[in-house]
Amino acid sequence: MNKRKIRLKDSSVDKKNSIKDTSPYVFQREKVAFEFPIKELPWTEKQKELIKLLLDKDTRCVFVEGPAGVSKTITAVYTALQLLKNKKISDIIFVRSAVESADSKIGYLPGTIDEKFEAYMAPFMEKLEELLDKASINRLRNDERFNATPVNYIRGLHWATKCVIVDECQNISFRELITTITRMGEFSKIIFCGDPMQSDLPENKAGGFSRICDIFADEDSKKFGIHHFEFTKEDIVRSEFVKFVVEKLENEKHTWKPKINK
């Protein structure tokens, strides 16, 4: 894996006057050296709005909140691939909580951490297959341009020139979300995707997604490139069936939407 060291401000070096450059260094991989086609999908206006926000050079972090079927994850993956192709980043990292989406647990999974987490990569791989041809997926994977990691193992990491997609954030605690966002280094973007209605956490444990969205949904956060983007049930594109189900559940007095302790 090739890495190089770059200055944030090369122009700060005045060779004539021998002024010492005090700008920080950033260690990063060489950018991808080959082309790969990305399929365009029939994006809705709301999805285009999110893509534009994510691709903006001043955007560092976006909390994407919305119900099932609004294309939160595939929009994030599409954006990450565009950044990778345009050499704005060097890697894509997919982060999830190792929480199963069922009341009955599957139990112990054999193998290494990577092998254990392979099942949790299924949504990410599904989106890659929708956006890339098989040859491009294999080439990017062989070049180690994307990988997945459980949120449990990210403490101490430093993400520079990467696009990080944190999926199913409703299953991540507030402390874990803080650990995740504070891994961010220079030239990176991070996208948090979540739906508070679909928490798989035990009833006595609240996720932290709604809370962290509220904290950063202000003008001061926008000045630092942090945004909160919200989809509603009107933005569901998966199917009319899912839109009907979500609407019924939102109207149901005893919905399973968790209460967040603030």
What pLDDT, in 10s, does the model give residues 5-59? 554 544 444 455 555 656 567 777 889 999 999 999 999 999 999 999 999 999 9
Report pLDDT for 260.
Answer: 44
Confidence at 127, pLDDT banded by 50, 70, 90: very high
Distance CA 237, CA 234 (A): 9
Report pLDDT for 254.
Answer: 47
pTM (2 decimals)?
Answer: 0.83
Distance CA 234, CA 244 (A): 10
83-99 pLDDT per residue, tens: 999 999 999 999 998 76
